[in-house]
Chains A and B, each alone.
Chain A
Amino acid sequence: MTVQIKVEDKLYQNRYRVDEGRPHIAIKDAAKCQSCTDKACTTACPAACYAAEDGGVTATFDGCLECGTCRVICQENSNIDWFYPRGGYGILYKFG
Protein backbone atom coordinates (compact mmCIF):
# COMPACT_ATOMS: atom_id res chain seq x y z
CA MET A 1 0.00 0.00 0.00
CA THR A 2 1.36 3.42 -0.84
CA VAL A 3 0.12 6.37 1.14
CA GLN A 4 0.48 9.87 -0.17
CA ILE A 5 1.40 12.30 2.54
CA LYS A 6 2.41 15.89 2.65
CA VAL A 7 4.64 16.67 5.59
CA GLU A 8 3.70 20.33 5.23
CA ASP A 9 0.14 19.47 6.23
CA LYS A 10 1.45 17.87 9.41
CA LEU A 11 3.79 20.74 10.25
CA TYR A 12 1.00 23.21 9.60
CA GLN A 13 -0.68 22.01 12.80
CA ASN A 14 2.34 23.00 14.87
CA ARG A 15 3.26 26.32 16.42
CA TYR A 16 6.68 27.84 15.75
CA ARG A 17 8.48 31.03 16.59
CA VAL A 18 10.92 31.27 13.72
CA ASP A 19 14.15 33.14 14.32
CA GLU A 20 14.10 34.91 10.93
CA GLY A 21 17.43 34.89 9.17
CA ARG A 22 19.17 32.91 11.91
CA PRO A 23 18.88 29.21 11.08
CA HIS A 24 20.19 27.02 13.92
CA ILE A 25 21.42 24.29 11.58
CA ALA A 26 23.74 24.54 8.59
CA ILE A 27 25.25 22.21 6.03
CA LYS A 28 28.99 22.67 6.35
CA ASP A 29 30.19 21.73 2.88
CA ALA A 30 27.78 21.47 -0.04
CA ALA A 31 30.32 19.49 -2.07
CA LYS A 32 30.29 16.68 0.47
CA CYS A 33 26.55 16.23 -0.09
CA GLN A 34 27.18 15.80 -3.80
CA SER A 35 29.23 12.70 -3.11
CA CYS A 36 27.09 11.40 -0.24
CA THR A 37 25.51 8.19 -1.51
CA ASP A 38 22.42 7.63 0.62
CA LYS A 39 21.63 11.27 1.53
CA ALA A 40 19.95 9.91 4.62
CA CYS A 41 19.07 13.40 5.89
CA THR A 42 16.56 13.77 3.04
CA THR A 43 14.59 10.69 4.06
CA ALA A 44 15.05 10.51 7.84
CA CYS A 45 14.25 14.10 8.79
CA PRO A 46 10.71 13.97 10.21
CA ALA A 47 10.04 17.51 9.02
CA ALA A 48 11.48 16.98 5.52
CA CYS A 49 13.83 19.93 5.97
CA TYR A 50 16.31 18.48 3.47
CA ALA A 51 15.61 17.91 -0.20
CA ALA A 52 17.81 16.21 -2.78
CA GLU A 53 18.35 18.57 -5.68
CA ASP A 54 20.74 18.57 -8.65
CA GLY A 55 22.87 15.85 -7.10
CA GLY A 56 23.23 17.85 -3.89
CA VAL A 57 20.97 18.83 -1.03
CA THR A 58 19.04 22.00 -0.20
CA ALA A 59 17.67 22.69 3.25
CA THR A 60 15.27 25.04 5.03
CA PHE A 61 14.83 24.71 8.74
CA ASP A 62 11.63 26.65 9.47
CA GLY A 63 9.72 23.42 10.16
CA CYS A 64 12.51 21.81 12.18
CA LEU A 65 11.33 19.80 15.19
CA GLU A 66 14.78 19.98 16.84
CA CYS A 67 15.06 16.22 17.16
CA GLY A 68 18.75 15.84 16.22
CA THR A 69 18.28 12.98 13.76
CA CYS A 70 20.04 14.69 10.86
CA ARG A 71 23.14 15.34 12.96
CA VAL A 72 23.27 11.74 14.18
CA ILE A 73 22.59 10.20 10.78
CA CYS A 74 25.23 12.30 9.00
CA GLN A 75 27.94 11.18 11.38
CA GLU A 76 30.27 9.57 8.83
CA ASN A 77 30.41 12.79 6.83
CA SER A 78 29.90 14.94 9.91
CA ASN A 79 28.62 17.60 7.54
CA ILE A 80 25.91 19.19 9.66
CA ASP A 81 26.51 22.06 12.05
CA TRP A 82 23.76 21.61 14.60
CA PHE A 83 22.75 23.63 17.61
CA TYR A 84 19.53 24.61 19.32
CA PRO A 85 17.73 27.78 18.29
CA ARG A 86 18.16 30.83 20.49
CA GLY A 87 16.19 30.59 23.74
CA GLY A 88 12.45 30.91 23.16
CA TYR A 89 12.62 30.33 19.38
CA GLY A 90 11.81 27.26 17.31
CA ILE A 91 9.14 24.63 17.83
CA LEU A 92 6.56 25.30 20.55
CA TYR A 93 4.76 22.12 21.51
CA LYS A 94 1.34 22.58 23.07
CA PHE A 95 1.03 18.91 23.95
CA GLY A 96 4.35 17.18 23.20
Chain B
Amino acid sequence: MTEKFDAIVVGAGPSGNAAAYTMAKAGLKVLQIERGEYPGSKNVQGAILYADALEKIIPDFREDAPLERHIIEQRLWMLDDQSYMGTHYRSDKFNEERPNRYTIIRAQIDKWFSKKVKEAGALVICETTVTDLLKDAAGKVIGVRTDRENGDIFADVVVLCDGVNSLLAQRAGFRAELKPEHVALAVKEMHFLPRDVIDERFNVKGEEGVVIEIAGTVTSGMVGTAFIYTNGESLAVGIGCLVSDFKKTGETPYALLERFKNHPSIAPLLKGSEVKEYAAHLIPEGGYKAIPKVYGDGWMICGDAGQFVNALHREGSNMAMTTGRLAAETVMALKEAGKPMTDANLAAYRRSLEESFVIKDLKKYKDLPEFLHKNTQFFSDYPNLLSKAAETWFRVDGIDKKTKEGQMVRGFVKARGWRGLLGDAVKLARAWR
Protein backbone atom coordinates (compact mmCIF):
# COMPACT_ATOMS: atom_id res chain seq x y z
CA MET B 1 0.00 0.00 0.00
CA THR B 2 1.62 3.28 -1.01
CA GLU B 3 -1.40 5.52 -0.62
CA LYS B 4 -1.36 7.98 2.23
CA PHE B 5 -4.16 8.62 4.68
CA ASP B 6 -5.18 11.76 6.52
CA ALA B 7 -5.26 9.69 9.70
CA ILE B 8 -4.57 6.15 10.88
CA VAL B 9 -6.48 5.03 13.95
CA VAL B 10 -5.03 2.06 15.83
CA GLY B 11 -7.69 0.03 17.65
CA ALA B 12 -11.44 -0.41 17.27
CA GLY B 13 -12.61 -0.02 20.86
CA PRO B 14 -14.81 2.93 21.88
CA SER B 15 -12.01 5.51 21.58
CA GLY B 16 -10.84 4.29 18.16
CA ASN B 17 -14.37 3.99 16.83
CA ALA B 18 -15.28 7.46 18.06
CA ALA B 19 -12.16 8.97 16.47
CA ALA B 20 -12.47 7.09 13.16
CA TYR B 21 -16.19 7.77 12.86
CA THR B 22 -15.89 11.49 13.60
CA MET B 23 -13.07 12.04 11.10
CA ALA B 24 -14.57 9.86 8.35
CA LYS B 25 -17.93 11.56 8.75
CA ALA B 26 -16.18 14.90 8.15
CA GLY B 27 -14.75 13.56 4.89
CA LEU B 28 -11.21 12.77 6.00
CA LYS B 29 -9.44 9.76 4.52
CA VAL B 30 -9.23 7.41 7.50
CA LEU B 31 -7.69 3.97 7.97
CA GLN B 32 -8.52 2.03 11.12
CA ILE B 33 -6.53 -1.06 12.10
CA GLU B 34 -7.70 -3.66 14.63
CA ARG B 35 -5.83 -6.79 15.71
CA GLY B 36 -8.92 -8.82 16.61
CA GLU B 37 -10.79 -11.04 14.15
CA TYR B 38 -13.64 -8.57 14.50
CA PRO B 39 -13.93 -5.37 16.54
CA GLY B 40 -14.73 -6.37 20.12
CA SER B 41 -13.14 -9.82 19.98
CA LYS B 42 -10.33 -8.63 22.28
CA ASN B 43 -12.30 -6.33 24.51
CA VAL B 44 -13.83 -6.60 27.95
CA GLN B 45 -16.19 -4.27 29.77
CA GLY B 46 -18.77 -4.55 32.61
CA ALA B 47 -20.57 -3.12 30.81
CA ILE B 48 -22.40 0.14 31.34
CA LEU B 49 -22.80 2.41 28.35
CA TYR B 50 -23.21 6.08 29.18
CA ALA B 51 -25.57 7.46 26.58
CA ASP B 52 -24.39 11.05 26.60
CA ALA B 53 -20.89 10.33 25.24
CA LEU B 54 -22.25 8.22 22.37
CA GLU B 55 -25.12 10.60 21.67
CA LYS B 56 -22.62 13.36 20.99
CA ILE B 57 -21.19 11.18 18.19
CA ILE B 58 -24.22 9.25 16.91
CA PRO B 59 -27.33 11.11 18.13
CA ASP B 60 -29.81 8.41 17.04
CA PHE B 61 -27.78 5.41 18.27
CA ARG B 62 -30.81 4.07 20.16
CA GLU B 63 -32.46 3.16 16.87
CA ASP B 64 -30.24 0.22 16.09
CA ALA B 65 -27.51 -0.17 18.72
CA PRO B 66 -27.57 -3.53 20.58
CA LEU B 67 -28.66 -2.26 24.01
CA GLU B 68 -29.49 -4.75 26.76
CA ARG B 69 -31.40 -2.92 29.51
CA HIS B 70 -31.62 0.68 30.68
CA ILE B 71 -30.68 1.12 34.30
CA ILE B 72 -33.38 2.14 36.73
CA GLU B 73 -31.74 1.00 39.93
CA GLN B 74 -28.24 1.37 41.33
CA ARG B 75 -27.21 -0.69 44.33
CA LEU B 76 -24.03 -0.07 46.32
CA TRP B 77 -23.17 -2.96 48.60
CA MET B 78 -20.59 -3.38 51.32
CA LEU B 79 -19.89 -7.04 51.97
CA ASP B 80 -18.25 -8.83 54.84
CA ASP B 81 -17.99 -12.61 54.83
CA GLN B 82 -21.57 -13.24 55.92
CA SER B 83 -23.49 -10.07 55.23
CA TYR B 84 -24.11 -7.19 52.95
CA MET B 85 -25.12 -3.68 53.79
CA GLY B 86 -26.26 -1.42 51.06
CA THR B 87 -27.94 1.58 49.62
CA HIS B 88 -30.24 1.32 46.66
CA TYR B 89 -31.46 4.09 44.45
CA ARG B 90 -34.32 3.31 42.15
CA SER B 91 -36.44 5.76 40.28
CA ASP B 92 -39.18 5.54 37.72
CA LYS B 93 -37.69 8.72 36.27
CA PHE B 94 -35.00 6.53 34.73
CA ASN B 95 -37.76 5.02 32.62
CA GLU B 96 -37.44 7.97 30.27
CA GLU B 97 -37.66 8.26 26.54
CA ARG B 98 -33.92 8.64 26.16
CA PRO B 99 -32.43 6.69 29.06
CA ASN B 100 -29.09 7.82 30.44
CA ARG B 101 -27.34 4.49 31.10
CA TYR B 102 -27.63 1.06 29.52
CA THR B 103 -26.11 -2.33 30.06
CA ILE B 104 -24.49 -3.61 26.88
CA ILE B 105 -22.51 -6.63 25.70
CA ARG B 106 -19.18 -5.27 24.66
CA ALA B 107 -18.35 -7.48 21.66
CA GLN B 108 -21.74 -6.66 20.17
CA ILE B 109 -21.60 -2.91 20.67
CA ASP B 110 -18.07 -2.74 19.21
CA LYS B 111 -19.25 -4.60 16.10
CA TRP B 112 -22.23 -2.27 15.73
CA PHE B 113 -20.08 0.83 16.17
CA SER B 114 -17.58 -0.47 13.65
CA LYS B 115 -20.33 -0.87 11.07
CA LYS B 116 -21.15 2.82 11.55
CA VAL B 117 -17.47 3.68 11.11
CA LYS B 118 -17.42 1.85 7.77
CA GLU B 119 -20.67 3.49 6.68
CA ALA B 120 -19.12 6.86 7.48
CA GLY B 121 -16.43 6.06 4.92
CA ALA B 122 -13.41 4.85 6.88
CA LEU B 123 -11.39 1.87 5.70
CA VAL B 124 -11.40 -0.69 8.52
CA ILE B 125 -8.88 -3.54 8.52
CA CYS B 126 -9.15 -6.30 11.13
CA GLU B 127 -6.87 -9.25 11.96
CA THR B 128 -3.88 -6.94 11.69
CA THR B 129 -1.59 -6.03 14.56
CA VAL B 130 0.32 -2.77 14.40
CA THR B 131 3.83 -3.64 15.55
CA ASP B 132 5.55 -0.25 15.48
CA LEU B 133 5.17 3.40 14.68
CA LEU B 134 7.16 4.74 11.75
CA LYS B 135 9.09 7.94 12.35
CA ASP B 136 11.06 10.23 10.06
CA ALA B 137 14.58 11.43 10.77
CA ALA B 138 13.26 14.26 12.92
CA GLY B 139 11.25 11.85 15.06
CA LYS B 140 7.85 12.80 13.66
CA VAL B 141 5.43 9.89 13.41
CA ILE B 142 4.60 9.33 9.74
CA GLY B 143 2.81 5.99 9.76
CA VAL B 144 2.61 2.48 11.17
CA ARG B 145 4.20 -0.91 10.59
CA THR B 146 1.84 -3.90 10.69
CA ASP B 147 2.33 -7.65 10.82
CA ARG B 148 1.05 -7.97 7.25
CA GLU B 149 3.38 -8.37 4.31
CA ASN B 150 4.40 -4.95 2.95
CA GLY B 151 2.72 -3.69 6.04
CA ASP B 152 3.98 -0.09 6.21
CA ILE B 153 1.25 2.51 5.86
CA PHE B 154 1.57 6.27 6.01
CA ALA B 155 -0.61 9.11 7.31
CA ASP B 156 -0.44 12.72 8.48
CA VAL B 157 -1.36 11.67 11.99
CA VAL B 158 -1.57 8.38 13.92
CA VAL B 159 -4.22 8.23 16.63
CA LEU B 160 -3.32 5.61 19.24
CA CYS B 161 -6.51 4.04 20.59
CA ASP B 162 -4.87 0.73 21.42
CA GLY B 163 -6.06 0.33 24.98
CA VAL B 164 -4.55 0.08 28.44
CA ASN B 165 -1.37 -1.82 27.54
CA SER B 166 -0.57 0.50 24.61
CA LEU B 167 2.63 -1.25 23.69
CA LEU B 168 2.92 1.10 20.73
CA ALA B 169 3.14 4.19 22.91
CA GLN B 170 5.57 2.35 25.19
CA ARG B 171 7.79 1.18 22.36
CA ALA B 172 7.85 4.65 20.84
CA GLY B 173 8.85 6.12 24.20
CA PHE B 174 5.68 8.20 24.53
CA ARG B 175 4.64 6.48 27.72
CA ALA B 176 6.29 4.46 30.47
CA GLU B 177 5.32 0.91 31.42
CA LEU B 178 2.20 0.70 33.60
CA LYS B 179 2.88 0.74 37.33
CA PRO B 180 1.35 -2.23 39.21
CA GLU B 181 -0.38 0.19 41.60
CA HIS B 182 -1.92 2.09 38.67
CA VAL B 183 -3.79 -0.80 37.07
CA ALA B 184 -6.46 -3.18 38.28
CA LEU B 185 -6.87 -6.69 36.95
CA ALA B 186 -10.52 -7.58 36.53
CA VAL B 187 -11.95 -11.01 35.81
CA LYS B 188 -15.48 -11.47 34.64
CA GLU B 189 -17.99 -14.16 33.71
CA MET B 190 -21.17 -14.14 31.68
CA HIS B 191 -23.96 -15.99 33.47
CA PHE B 192 -26.99 -16.80 31.35
CA LEU B 193 -30.50 -17.03 32.82
CA PRO B 194 -33.96 -16.74 31.29
CA ARG B 195 -35.22 -13.16 31.03
CA ASP B 196 -38.16 -13.71 33.39
CA VAL B 197 -35.87 -15.18 36.05
CA ILE B 198 -33.69 -12.07 35.92
CA ASP B 199 -36.80 -9.86 36.02
CA GLU B 200 -38.05 -11.62 39.15
CA ARG B 201 -34.73 -11.85 40.97
CA PHE B 202 -33.93 -8.22 40.42
CA ASN B 203 -37.46 -6.86 40.71
CA VAL B 204 -37.63 -5.35 37.22
CA LYS B 205 -39.75 -5.70 34.11
CA GLY B 206 -39.39 -5.16 30.38
CA GLU B 207 -36.18 -3.38 29.48
CA GLU B 208 -35.45 -2.24 33.04
CA GLY B 209 -32.10 -3.15 34.53
CA VAL B 210 -30.14 -3.08 37.79
CA VAL B 211 -26.47 -2.59 38.54
CA ILE B 212 -24.83 -3.66 41.78
CA GLU B 213 -21.41 -2.24 42.67
CA ILE B 214 -19.74 -4.06 45.55
CA ALA B 215 -16.85 -3.45 47.92
CA GLY B 216 -15.74 -5.19 51.06
CA THR B 217 -13.99 -8.28 52.31
CA VAL B 218 -14.63 -10.09 49.01
CA THR B 219 -11.43 -8.47 47.76
CA SER B 220 -9.48 -9.96 50.71
CA GLY B 221 -8.22 -6.57 51.83
CA MET B 222 -7.02 -5.62 48.36
CA VAL B 223 -8.06 -2.33 46.75
CA GLY B 224 -10.84 -3.35 44.42
CA THR B 225 -14.52 -3.81 43.72
CA ALA B 226 -16.92 -6.36 42.34
CA PHE B 227 -20.05 -5.98 40.25
CA ILE B 228 -23.19 -7.64 38.94
CA TYR B 229 -24.95 -6.08 35.95
CA THR B 230 -28.22 -7.29 34.45
CA ASN B 231 -28.29 -7.81 30.71
CA GLY B 232 -31.39 -8.98 28.84
CA GLU B 233 -30.73 -12.67 29.35
CA SER B 234 -27.46 -12.74 31.22
CA LEU B 235 -25.68 -11.37 34.26
CA ALA B 236 -22.21 -9.91 34.03
CA VAL B 237 -20.35 -10.91 37.20
CA GLY B 238 -16.88 -9.62 37.89
CA ILE B 239 -14.26 -8.57 40.40
CA GLY B 240 -11.08 -6.55 40.06
CA CYS B 241 -8.17 -5.45 42.28
CA LEU B 242 -4.93 -3.55 41.88
CA VAL B 243 -2.14 -5.59 40.32
CA SER B 244 0.21 -4.41 43.08
CA ASP B 245 -2.15 -5.96 45.64
CA PHE B 246 -2.29 -9.25 43.74
CA LYS B 247 1.49 -9.27 43.93
CA LYS B 248 1.48 -8.46 47.63
CA THR B 249 -1.15 -11.01 48.66
CA GLY B 250 -0.50 -13.85 46.23
CA GLU B 251 -4.27 -14.17 45.76
CA THR B 252 -5.39 -15.67 42.48
CA PRO B 253 -8.04 -13.78 40.50
CA TYR B 254 -10.13 -16.87 39.78
CA ALA B 255 -10.29 -17.92 43.45
CA LEU B 256 -11.37 -14.38 44.29
CA LEU B 257 -14.13 -14.55 41.67
CA GLU B 258 -15.24 -17.95 42.91
CA ARG B 259 -15.38 -16.78 46.53
CA PHE B 260 -17.41 -13.78 45.46
CA LYS B 261 -19.89 -15.95 43.54
CA ASN B 262 -20.27 -18.23 46.57
CA HIS B 263 -20.95 -15.40 49.02
CA PRO B 264 -24.27 -16.08 50.79
CA SER B 265 -25.72 -12.80 49.53
CA ILE B 266 -24.53 -13.32 45.93
CA ALA B 267 -25.03 -17.03 45.24
CA PRO B 268 -28.87 -16.89 45.22
CA LEU B 269 -28.75 -14.23 42.50
CA LEU B 270 -26.68 -16.49 40.24
CA LYS B 271 -28.35 -19.82 41.07
CA GLY B 272 -28.92 -22.09 38.09
CA SER B 273 -27.13 -19.85 35.59
CA GLU B 274 -25.09 -21.16 32.70
CA VAL B 275 -21.63 -19.62 32.39
CA LYS B 276 -20.59 -19.05 28.80
CA GLU B 277 -17.41 -16.99 29.00
CA TYR B 278 -14.53 -16.12 31.31
CA ALA B 279 -12.65 -12.92 30.55
CA ALA B 280 -9.83 -10.84 32.02
CA HIS B 281 -8.64 -7.31 31.32
CA LEU B 282 -6.65 -4.52 32.93
CA ILE B 283 -8.29 -1.23 33.95
CA PRO B 284 -6.16 1.92 34.24
CA GLU B 285 -6.80 3.31 37.72
CA GLY B 286 -3.92 5.68 38.28
CA GLY B 287 -6.15 8.66 37.58
CA TYR B 288 -5.06 12.18 36.75
CA LYS B 289 -1.45 11.85 37.88
CA ALA B 290 -0.90 8.82 35.66
CA ILE B 291 -1.98 10.53 32.44
CA PRO B 292 1.00 10.74 30.06
CA LYS B 293 1.58 13.38 27.43
CA VAL B 294 -1.11 12.54 24.90
CA TYR B 295 0.11 14.25 21.74
CA GLY B 296 3.28 14.99 19.83
CA ASP B 297 4.61 15.34 16.30
CA GLY B 298 2.23 13.26 14.21
CA TRP B 299 0.60 11.31 17.07
CA MET B 300 -2.16 11.43 19.66
CA ILE B 301 -3.32 9.07 22.42
CA CYS B 302 -6.97 8.45 23.39
CA GLY B 303 -8.93 6.29 25.82
CA ASP B 304 -7.37 3.68 28.11
CA ALA B 305 -3.98 4.13 26.44
CA GLY B 306 -3.97 7.62 27.97
CA GLN B 307 -5.28 6.34 31.36
CA PHE B 308 -8.59 8.14 30.92
CA VAL B 309 -10.66 6.19 33.43
CA ASN B 310 -12.59 7.44 36.44
CA ALA B 311 -12.27 4.33 38.59
CA LEU B 312 -14.49 5.57 41.41
CA HIS B 313 -17.45 6.17 39.11
CA ARG B 314 -16.60 3.24 36.86
CA GLU B 315 -16.48 5.46 33.81
CA GLY B 316 -14.08 4.43 31.06
CA SER B 317 -15.83 3.88 27.75
CA ASN B 318 -17.45 7.31 27.90
CA MET B 319 -14.05 8.92 28.48
CA ALA B 320 -12.67 6.80 25.66
CA MET B 321 -15.39 7.97 23.26
CA THR B 322 -15.04 11.58 24.36
CA THR B 323 -11.25 11.66 24.05
CA GLY B 324 -11.54 9.93 20.65
CA ARG B 325 -14.02 12.52 19.48
CA LEU B 326 -11.98 15.46 20.77
CA ALA B 327 -8.82 14.10 19.11
CA ALA B 328 -10.73 13.78 15.83
CA GLU B 329 -12.08 17.30 16.10
CA THR B 330 -8.58 18.62 16.72
CA VAL B 331 -7.33 16.92 13.54
CA MET B 332 -10.32 18.21 11.57
CA ALA B 333 -9.75 21.79 12.69
CA LEU B 334 -6.07 21.63 11.72
CA LYS B 335 -6.91 20.13 8.32
CA GLU B 336 -9.50 22.81 7.75
CA ALA B 337 -6.95 25.50 8.56
CA GLY B 338 -4.32 23.81 6.39
CA LYS B 339 -1.99 23.41 9.38
CA PRO B 340 0.44 20.48 9.88
CA MET B 341 0.06 17.85 12.63
CA THR B 342 2.91 19.13 14.76
CA ASP B 343 3.37 18.90 18.48
CA ALA B 344 2.55 22.60 18.87
CA ASN B 345 -0.62 22.39 16.79
CA LEU B 346 -1.88 19.15 18.34
CA ALA B 347 -1.57 20.73 21.80
CA ALA B 348 -5.09 21.98 21.07
CA TYR B 349 -6.25 18.43 21.86
CA ARG B 350 -4.99 18.64 25.42
CA ARG B 351 -6.65 22.04 25.81
CA SER B 352 -10.00 20.67 24.69
CA LEU B 353 -9.58 17.79 27.15
CA GLU B 354 -9.02 20.34 29.94
CA GLU B 355 -12.32 21.97 29.12
CA SER B 356 -14.24 18.69 29.07
CA PHE B 357 -15.58 16.61 31.95
CA VAL B 358 -12.75 14.15 31.32
CA ILE B 359 -9.92 16.16 32.85
CA LYS B 360 -12.20 18.03 35.25
CA ASP B 361 -13.42 14.78 36.83
CA LEU B 362 -10.03 13.09 36.86
CA LYS B 363 -8.52 16.19 38.47
CA LYS B 364 -11.18 16.19 41.15
CA TYR B 365 -10.13 12.70 42.28
CA LYS B 366 -6.42 13.12 41.61
CA ASP B 367 -5.43 12.06 45.16
CA LEU B 368 -7.85 9.16 45.48
CA PRO B 369 -5.84 6.36 43.79
CA GLU B 370 -2.79 6.96 46.00
CA PHE B 371 -5.02 7.36 49.04
CA LEU B 372 -6.76 4.01 48.55
CA HIS B 373 -3.49 2.32 47.72
CA LYS B 374 -2.11 3.45 51.07
CA ASN B 375 -5.25 3.04 53.17
CA THR B 376 -6.52 -0.47 52.61
CA GLN B 377 -8.51 -0.33 55.89
CA PHE B 378 -11.40 0.88 53.75
CA PHE B 379 -11.43 -2.55 52.10
CA SER B 380 -10.82 -4.63 55.22
CA ASP B 381 -11.54 -3.09 58.66
CA TYR B 382 -14.47 -0.91 57.71
CA PRO B 383 -16.67 -3.51 56.00
CA ASN B 384 -16.32 -5.74 59.06
CA LEU B 385 -16.92 -2.88 61.50
CA LEU B 386 -19.99 -1.61 59.69
CA SER B 387 -21.44 -5.07 59.43
CA LYS B 388 -20.83 -5.76 63.11
CA ALA B 389 -22.44 -2.46 64.04
CA ALA B 390 -25.50 -3.18 61.92
CA GLU B 391 -25.82 -6.67 63.34
CA THR B 392 -25.61 -5.28 66.90
CA TRP B 393 -28.21 -2.67 66.12
CA PHE B 394 -30.77 -4.93 64.47
CA ARG B 395 -30.53 -7.95 66.73
CA VAL B 396 -33.19 -7.84 69.47
CA ASP B 397 -31.69 -9.72 72.37
CA GLY B 398 -32.64 -8.03 75.61
CA ILE B 399 -29.62 -5.72 75.65
CA ASP B 400 -30.62 -2.08 76.00
CA LYS B 401 -29.98 0.32 73.12
CA LYS B 402 -27.55 2.53 75.03
CA THR B 403 -25.31 -0.44 75.78
CA LYS B 404 -25.55 -1.45 72.12
CA GLU B 405 -24.49 2.04 71.00
CA GLY B 406 -21.54 1.79 73.34
CA GLN B 407 -20.55 -1.57 71.86
CA MET B 408 -20.76 -0.21 68.34
CA VAL B 409 -18.60 2.83 69.08
CA ARG B 410 -16.07 0.74 71.01
CA GLY B 411 -15.81 -1.63 68.04
CA PHE B 412 -14.70 1.22 65.79
CA VAL B 413 -12.38 2.78 68.36
CA LYS B 414 -10.76 -0.55 69.15
CA ALA B 415 -10.01 -1.25 65.51
CA ARG B 416 -8.91 2.17 64.37
CA GLY B 417 -8.41 4.30 67.52
CA TRP B 418 -9.97 7.75 67.85
CA ARG B 419 -7.07 9.28 66.01
CA GLY B 420 -7.30 6.67 63.28
CA LEU B 421 -11.02 7.25 62.83
CA LEU B 422 -10.64 10.99 62.72
CA GLY B 423 -7.64 10.74 60.42
CA ASP B 424 -9.50 8.39 58.06
CA ALA B 425 -12.45 10.78 57.87
CA VAL B 426 -10.26 13.78 57.15
CA LYS B 427 -8.14 11.93 54.61
CA LEU B 428 -11.16 10.53 52.82
CA ALA B 429 -12.79 13.94 52.67
CA ARG B 430 -9.59 15.43 51.27
CA ALA B 431 -9.14 12.80 48.60
CA TRP B 432 -12.77 13.25 47.67
CA ARG B 433 -12.57 17.01 47.20
Contact = CB atoms under 8 A, between A and B. Distances in A.
B42 A44 contact: no
Nearest to B185: A69
Nearest to A91: B42
A35 to B, nearest CB: 16
A38 to B, nearest CB: 7
B262 interface: yes
A96 B276 contact: no
Nearest to A6: B254
B254 A5 contact: yes
Interface in B24-81: 35-37, 40-45, 47, 81
Contact of B280 (A17, A40, A47): A47
Interface residues of A, number: 39
Interface string A13-40: 1100100000000000000000000101
Given A38-B250, A90-B42, A96-B44, A75 B167 contact: no
A87 B243 contact: no
Given A13-B275, A84-B167, A88-B37, A44 B148 contact: no
Contacts of B167: 82-84
Interface string B103-129: 001111010000000000000001111
Interface string A51-71: 000000000000001111101
B405 interface: no
A75 B180 contact: yes
A13 B259 CA distance: 19
A68 B282 CA distance: 7
Contacts of B45: 96
Contacts of A96: 40-45, 47, 105-107, 110, 277, 279
Interface residues of B, number: 57
B282 A95 contact: no
A67 B43 CA distance: 10
Given A46-B280, A72-B178, A96-B107, A38 B258 contact: no
Contacts of B250: 38, 40, 43
Nearest to B129: A87
Contacts of B128: 87-88
A85 to B, nearest CB: 7
A41 B108 CA distance: 31
B190 interface: yes
A73 B42 contact: no
B221 to A, nearest CB: 15
Contacts of B281: 65, 67
Contacts of A69: 185, 243, 246, 280, 282
7 contacts: A14-B278, A43-B252, A67-B280, A68-B282, A86-B129, A95-B276, A96-B40
Interface of B: 35-37, 40-45, 47, 81, 105-108, 110, 126-129, 131, 146-148, 164-165, 167, 177-180, 183, 185, 187, 189-190, 234, 243, 246-247, 250-255, 258-259, 262, 275-282
Given A46-B253, A68-B178, 6 more contacts: A40-B247, A67-B280, A69-B280, A85-B129, A88-B35, A88-B128
Interface of A: 1, 3, 5, 7, 10-11, 13-14, 17, 38, 40, 43-44, 46-48, 65-69, 71-73, 75, 82-88, 90-96
